[in-house]
């Protein structure tokens, strides 16, 4: 469902992403791990059609993201690393706006939207302005906006930012459920417990290059994933 071939992104003389290749199948949760500045967010922005690669190809469901971004956006949900919301709108108004952006009718997505609002325990805030939401509530709403149109692919940059322990558990369970429905999920995280709990495969990125990839068990080799991550990205310091 997601295919990345020899992806490179440069900003002047700086190479943010350096010739990476990977694929993610339907029903799979792929974790993209790396320290700050490794190139994770740059990769996600290219996947989401928000940035063009310098070279290489990114396909979602066989569609080239660079040449047909509109085609991929219709089947993709994107959760950025920080909420970007129209805070003068109510939660419901924002969801209706997002549904319309995807060319869908609210009546076709309303049940799913309400189910997600109830799941995250913010259904009573539907008619409140977003400026009155807590940070955690805003993060939940961002996740709901990414899912309201029932996308086939979900791209998430740091899904646990600002969430308490209960909400983090809700997100983990939701990701597992979506994978069981054959959704394709690509996520970045600094939270090793999240990667261990939900990801079938993991790629570790450092200085723009994938330095290790494999299943969680393959990478762990009887050690904590956090220890493996630190060793690969920071050496033995």
Beta pairing, strands 29-33 & 209-215: unpaired
Look at 37 and 15; give whichever has higher pLDDT: 15
At residue 89, does pLDDT exceed 90?
yes
At residue 38, does pLDDT exceed 80?
yes
Beta pairing, strands 209-215 & 201-206: antiparallel
Residue 185 CA to residue 167 CA, distance in Å, equals 18
DSSP letter string over the chain? -EEEEEEEEEETTEEEEEEEEEEE-TT-EEEEE--TTSSHHHHHHHHTTSS--SEEEEEETTEETTT-HHHHHTTEEEE-SS----TTSBHHHHHHHHHHHTT--HHHHHHHHHHHHHHTT-GGGTTSBGGGS-HHHHHHHHHHHHHTT--SEEEEESTTTT--HHHHHHHHHHHHHHHHTT-EEEEE-S-HHHHHHH-SEEEEEETTEEEEEEEHHHHHTTS-HHHHHHHHHHTT-
Residue 51 CA to residue 42 CA, distance in Å, equals 8
Q: Is the separation of the CB atoms in 31 and 187 below 8 Å?
A: yes
Q: Where are the domains of the chain?
A: 81-150
In the chain the first and final C-alpha atoms are separated, in Å, by: 38
pLDDT in the model for residue 47 = 94
Per-chain mean pLDDT for the chain: 91
Model pLDDT for residues 102-131, shown as the tens digit of each residue = 989 999 999 999 999 999 999 999 999 999
Which pTM value belongs to this model? 0.90
Q: Which of 60, 84, 95 is nearest to 183 (CA)?
A: 60
At residue 237, does pLDDT exceed 50?
no
User: Range with the lowest mean pLDDT among 15-19, 55-59, 196-200, 226-230?
Assistant: 226-230
pLDDT mean over 211-227? 75
At residue 43, does pLDDT exceed 80?
yes
Residue 46 CA to residue 27 CA, distance in Å, equals 21
Beta pairing, strands 2-11 & 14-24: antiparallel
pLDDT in the model for residue 221 = 65
Q: Which of 193, 183, 185 is nearest to 163 (CA)?
A: 193
């Amino acid at each position: 469902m997601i295919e990345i071939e020899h992806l490179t992104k440069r900003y002047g003389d700086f190479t943010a992403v350096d010739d990476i290749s990977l694929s993610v199948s339907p029903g799979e949760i792929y974790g993209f791990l790396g320290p700050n500045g490794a190139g994770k967010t740059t990769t996600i922005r290219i996947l989401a059609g928000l940035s063009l690669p310098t070279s290489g190809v990114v396909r979602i469901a066989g569609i080239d993201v660079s040449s047909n971004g509109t085609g991929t956006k219709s089947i993709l949900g994107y959760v950025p690393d920080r909420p970007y919301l129209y805070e003068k709108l109510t939660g419901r108004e924002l969801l209706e706006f997002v549904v319309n952006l995807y060319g869908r009718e609210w009546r076709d997505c309303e049940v799913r939207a309400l189910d997600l609002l109830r799941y995250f325990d913010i259904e009573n805030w539907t008619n409140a302005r977003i400026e009155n939401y807590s940070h955690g509530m805003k993060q939940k709403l961002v996740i709901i906006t990414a899912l309201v149109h029932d996308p086939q692919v979900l791209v998430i940059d740091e899904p646990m930012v600002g969430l308490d322990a209960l909400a983090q558990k809700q997100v983990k369970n939701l990701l597992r459920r979506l994978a069981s429905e054959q959704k394709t999920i690509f996520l970045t995280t600094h939270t090793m417990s999240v990667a261990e709990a939900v990801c079938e495969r993991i790629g570790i990125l450092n200085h723009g290059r994938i330095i290790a990839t494999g299943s969680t068990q393959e990478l762990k080799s009887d050690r904590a994933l956090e220890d493996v991550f630190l060793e690969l990205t920071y050496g033995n310091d």
